């Protein structure tokens, strides 16, 4: 039997226009809501929802608010009791949502609609129809509702190529099930089979696709397709949407799997299209994204991966030392796998537990974490014991002996690897006058010192300074990694040297600066381009981790700045630039480690600028507000400038160095055009 699909033109998100178009699309396939919904029916409106600052409704990476609002109004007018929900609609244990996600809650309140969380509504384990996985934990919010309306946010997908009606029901899996399946089924074909299989079990009553605008990717220009589609067959609806873009449905694995599992039909001859005719398609013809090539996986590696993700997988474990016995996990467990033992303590029944990790998300004390069990626990016991002893050692211990306190703690040291011995060649510095620090630099070109010459910005700075005719000294902890960069700089006709240095060690920094001055000359330009970030909330940050971030971001900047300033003062001129970050001006949740060090670095730069400026040394602090694009970044990120280009940052650094003393810049703020501030 042929599947009915309707495609209706729509170019506006105006409420009245959108409601009329949706009603027309449903009538064309003979499924008006007044006939589909009986008075009092529970109707689950299932949009595509993922919250966060990078996924606003306006980007079309979630269902548009006007689309959701129109459907809620139609359900309410048809006599149904609408429920609004998705797996990500409410995170247990996180009642304070990001302000950019409040539109969903405001919408539910305005329509007097219950906001349903799939994670806390309970679940049932259903058997799959594919070889792997054997079963799924699906939310009863989807399975036990009278009518399920899937609001499809049609858009390309990085691995599945297309995210439409089939993919929208994949969120019926509770908790961490999506992530677990993605790791268990890494190939696009295997994941597509699971997507189609979940849609078979949680099949919506009707699917409505919004293609008024289509988002091709994060922060890219929207495609103005101007269509609304509807069907009771999710496979046929996806097929029609794809053909509206001029793409071939046969190349989409999820559609072919959907037909194989009996979910629906994707072939044009088995689909009856209403509203538009096949000859009206495609509406637009954007380039179809090619899936990333998947290298063949060795059989042994595949077997070990499956074994680690199934029988040897870590299981949730209750840490009794952290547990406050609040019983939140017991209340939110969808399978009621958490109970109490004879002593009244919370325990997990692993025969029932589906590893959805809803309990872990709800636990405010973070007392539930994944831990190995059985054979894997035995094999990993030495590593876990060593980690425990190391953490205790980093925290240290204090002995009080009368009025004397003795403190003992362990501290990790990073070996400094010197570069390979380079063949020294004659350079233009050999004939210059020698000062107490070494050879004087050529006043026309001079010497540039780059501390933190990594593969991104550090290398770009070194190349740009070399192109300007400056001899370059590049500094890193592992000097051997700089061999290729030094050879590249030498090919530009300048002298380049690599130095290994622990920039948090006082003596090592002093020795490094003296070596640079002795071999190349006193630096005319020095850049401190080192950053260390250990993410974590304040209550979870270990003392050693906090100290490490401060030492690299702040102490290292002080040591390098002090020694370089001493050298520059012998010449009465020079430029010293510190690479900062957004954390230097704004402390954010989870960024305490970085913010404290970067704020200190910024304060250091201001103090040095006031002290050294009158003595001829230009001190500048550059805030990089945004991610730095690497050479391996996708082409669309390069074209849309979704980040800072390292070569352009280097141009700004060189411009700072060339500024006239009458117009010195102390702080420069660089960000891509799309970054908020």
Domain ranges of the chain: 3-280, 311-371, 434-670
Percent of the chain, pLDDT > 90?
54
Q: Are 326 and 364 spatial neighbours (Cβ–Cβ below 8 Å)? A: yes
Phi, psi of 99 (to 5 degrees): -60, -25
Q: Does 3-280 match 434-670 in CATH topology?
A: yes
Q: What is the pLDDT of residues 368-387, one digit of tens each?
A: 988 888 888 888 889 888 88
Please name every residue paired with 340 in a beta bridge, in sequence order, or none if there are none. 346
Mean pLDDT of 90-98: 42
The pLDDT, as a whole number, for residue 169 is: 94
**What's the rounded Cα separation, in Å, for the pair 578 and 287?**
42
**What's the rounded Cα separation, in Å, for the pair 621 and 604?**
9
Mean pLDDT of 158-163: 87
The pLDDT, as a whole number, for residue 627 is: 84
Strands 438-439 and 161-163: unpaired
Question: How does DSSP classify residue 173?
Answer: B
Q: What is the CA radius of gyration of the chain?
A: 31
Ranges 181-190, 303-312, 417-426: which has the least confidence: 417-426
Site of tokens 């680690």: 308
The pLDDT, as a whole number, for residue 311 is: 84
Structure tokens at 276: 């538009």
Q: In degrees, to the nearest 5, what angle opens at C-alpha 564 toward C-alphas 412 and 530?
A: 40
Q: Is the per-residue pLDDT at 532 higher than 80?
A: yes
Q: What is the pLDDT of residues 590-648, one digit of tens each?
A: 888 889 999 999 999 999 999 999 999 999 999 998 888 876 666 656 666 778 899 99
CB count within 10 Å of CB 673 equals: 8
The pLDDT, as a whole number, for residue 527 is: 97
Q: What is the pLDDT of residues 537-547, one digit of tens each?
A: 888 787 878 88
Q: Are 590 and 536 spatial neighbours (Cβ–Cβ below 8 Å)? A: yes
The pLDDT, as a whole number, for residue 264 is: 95
Print the SS3 string covering 544-580.
HHHHHHHHHHHHHHHHHHHHHHHHHHCCCCEEEEEEE
Mean pLDDT of 262-288: 94
**Continuous segment of H or E residues that includes residue 459:** helix 457-467
Q: Which fold has domain 311-371?
A: Alpha-Beta Plaits (3.30.70)
The pTM for the full model equals 0.68
Q: Confidence band (pLDDT; 50, 70, 90) for 97?
A: very low
Cβ-proximal residues to 306 (8 Å cutoff; 6+ apart), any chain:
132, 184
Q: Is the peptide bond before 287 cis (omega within 30 degrees of 0)?
A: no
**What's the rounded Cα separation, in Å, for the pair 526 and 661?**
17
Q: How far is CA 508 from CA 416, 488, 587, in A?
A: 10, 26, 31
Strands 123-127 and 155-157: unpaired
Percent of the chain, pLDDT > 70?
90
**What's the rounded Cα separation, in Å, for the pair 49 and 376?**
36
The pLDDT, as a whole number, for residue 294 is: 74
Architecture of domain 434-670: 3-Layer(aba) Sandwich (3.40)
Cβ-proximal residues to 89 (8 Å cutoff; 6+ apart), any chain:
49, 104, 115, 116, 117, 118
Closest CA to 117 of 98, 133, 136, 95: 95
Q: Confidence band (pLDDT; 50, 70, 90) for 91?
A: very low
Chain mean pLDDT for the chain: 86
**Continuous segment of H or E residues that includes residue 35:** helix 33-36
Q: Confidence band (pLDDT; 50, 70, 90) for 518?
A: very high
Mean pLDDT of 579-596: 88
Print the SS3 string covering 179-242.
HHHHHHCCCHHHHHHHHHHHHHHCCCCEEEEEECCECCCCCCCCECCCEEEEECCHHHHHHHHH
Cβ-proximal residues to 216 (8 Å cutoff; 6+ apart), any chain:
155, 156, 222, 223, 286, 289
What is the distance in angstroms between the CA of the first residue and the CA of the last residue of the chain? Answer: 56
Distance of CA 368 to the CA centre of its chain: 24
Q: What SS3 state is found at 442?
A: coil
Mean pLDDT of 215-229: 85
Ranges 94-98, 292-296, 325-329, 529-533: which has the least confidence: 94-98
Q: Confidence band (pLDDT; 50, 70, 90) for 572?
A: very high
Q: How far is CA 179 from CA 138, 185, 224, 270, in A?
A: 14, 10, 32, 34
Q: Are 652 and 668 spatial neighbours (Cβ–Cβ below 8 Å)? A: yes
Q: Is the per-residue pLDDT at 58 higher than 90?
A: no
The pLDDT, as a whole number, for residue 145 is: 93
Please name every residue paired with 434 in a beta bridge, in sequence order, or none if there are none. 439
Ranges 114-118, 150-154, 435-439, 582-586: which has the least confidence: 435-439
The pLDDT, as a whole number, for residue 287 is: 87
Ranges 46-50, 71-75, 227-231: which has the least confidence: 46-50
The pLDDT, as a whole number, for residue 440 is: 41
Closest CA to 564 of 648, 667, 475: 475
Structure tokens at 87: 């797996």
**Continuous segment of H or E residues that includes residue 117:** strand 114-117
The pLDDT, as a whole number, for residue 89 is: 43
Q: Are 224 and 155 spatial neighbours (Cβ–Cβ below 8 Å)? A: no
- Reduced DSSP (H G I as helix, E B as strand, rest coil) percent helix, strand, coil of the chain, to 5: 40, 20, 40
Closest CA to 73 of 107, 36, 103: 107
Q: Is the per-residue pLDDT at 18 higher than 70?
A: yes
The pLDDT, as a whole number, for residue 181 is: 86
Q: What SS3 state is found at 438?
A: strand
Q: What SS3 state is found at 302?
A: helix
**What's the rounded Cα separation, in Å, for the pair 636 and 643?**
11
Q: What SS3 state is found at 28?
A: helix
Which superfamily does 3-280 belong to? LarA, N-terminal domain (3.40.50.11440)
Mean pLDDT of 331-356: 91
């Amino acid at each position: 039997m042929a599947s009915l699909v309707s495609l209706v033109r729509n170019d506006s998100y105006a409420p009245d226009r959108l409601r009329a178009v949706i009603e027309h699309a449903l009538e064309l396939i003979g499924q008006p809501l007044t006939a589909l919904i009986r008075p009092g029916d529970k109707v689950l409106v299932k949009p595509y929802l993922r919250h966060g600052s990078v996924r606003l409704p306006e980007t079309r990476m979630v269902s548009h608010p006007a689309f959701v609002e129109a459907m809620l109004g139609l359900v309410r007018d048809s006599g149904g009791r609408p429920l609004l929900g998705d797996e990500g609609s409410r995170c247990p244990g996180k009642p304070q949502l990001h302000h950019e996600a409040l539109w969903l809650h405001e919408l539910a309140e305005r329509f007097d609609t219950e906001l349903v969380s799939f994670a806390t509504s309970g679940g049932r384990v259903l058997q799959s129809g594919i070889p792997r996985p054997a079963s799924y934990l699906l939310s009863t919010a989807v399975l036990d509702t009278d009518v399920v309306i899937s609001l499809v946010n049609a858009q390309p997908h990085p691995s599945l190529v297309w995210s439409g009606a089939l993919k929208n029901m994949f969120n019926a899996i509770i908790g961490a099930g999506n992530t677990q399946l993605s790791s268990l089924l890494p190939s696009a074909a295997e994941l597509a089979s699971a997507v189609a299989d979940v849609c078979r079990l949680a099949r919506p009553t009707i699917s409505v696709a919004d293609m008024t605008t289509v988002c091709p990717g994060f922060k890219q220009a929207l495609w103005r397709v101007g269509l609304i589609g509807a069907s009771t067959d999710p496979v046929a609806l996806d097929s029609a949407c794809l053909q509206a873009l001029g793409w071939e449905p046969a190349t989409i694995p999820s559609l072919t799997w959907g037909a194989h599992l009996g979910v629906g039909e994707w072939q044009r001859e088995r689909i009856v299209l209403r509203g538009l005719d096949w000859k009206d398609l495609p509406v637009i013809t954007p380039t179809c994204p090619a899936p990333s090539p998947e290298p063949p996986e060795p059989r042994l590696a595949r077997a070990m991966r499956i074994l680690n993700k199934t029988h040897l997988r870590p299981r949730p474990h209750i840490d009794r030392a952290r547990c406050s016995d609040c019983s939140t996990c017991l209340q939110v467990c969808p399978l009621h796998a958490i109970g109490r033992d004879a002593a009244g303590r919370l325990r997990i029944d692993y025969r029932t537990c589906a590893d959805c990790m809803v309990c872990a998300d709800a636990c405010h004390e973070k007392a539930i974490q994944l831990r190995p069990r059985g054979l894997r626990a035995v094999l990993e016991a030495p590593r876990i014991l060593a980690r425990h002893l190391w953490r205790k050692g980093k925290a240290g211990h204090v002995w009080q002996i009368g009025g004397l306190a003795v403190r003992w703690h362990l501290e990790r040291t990073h070996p400094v690897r010197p570069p390979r011995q380079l063949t020294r060649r004659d350079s233009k510095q050999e004939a210059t006058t020698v000062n107490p620090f070494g050879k004087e630099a050529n006043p026309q070109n001079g010497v540039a010192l780059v501390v933190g010459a990594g593969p991104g910005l550090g290398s770009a700075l070194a190349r740009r300074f070399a192109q300007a005719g400056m001899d370059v000294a590049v500094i890193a902890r592992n000097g051997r990694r700089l061999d290729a960069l030094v050879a590249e700089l030498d090919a530009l006709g300048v002298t380049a040297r690599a130095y290994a240095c622990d920039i948090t060690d006082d003596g090592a920094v002093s020795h490094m600066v003296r070596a640079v001055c002795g071999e190349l000359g006193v630096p005319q330009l020095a850049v401190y381009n080192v950053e260390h970030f250990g993410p974590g909330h304040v209550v979870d940050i270990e003392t050693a981790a906090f100290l490490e971030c401060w030492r690299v971001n702040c102490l290292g900047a002080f040591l390098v700045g002090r020694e370089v300033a001493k050298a520059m003062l012998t010449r009465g001129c020079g430029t010293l630039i510190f690479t900062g970050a957004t954390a230097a001006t704004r402390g954010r949740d989870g960024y305490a480690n970085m913010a404290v060090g970067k704020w200190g670095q910024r304060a250091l730069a201001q103090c040095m600028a006031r002290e050294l400026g009158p003595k001829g040394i230009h001190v500048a602090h550059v805030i990089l507000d945004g991610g730095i694009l690497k050479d391996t970044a996708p082409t669309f990120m390069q074209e849309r400038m979704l980040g800072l280009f390292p070569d352009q940052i280097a141009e700004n650094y060189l411009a700072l160095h060339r500024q006239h003393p009458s117009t010195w810049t102390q702080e420069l703020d660089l960000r891509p055009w799309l970054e908020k501030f």
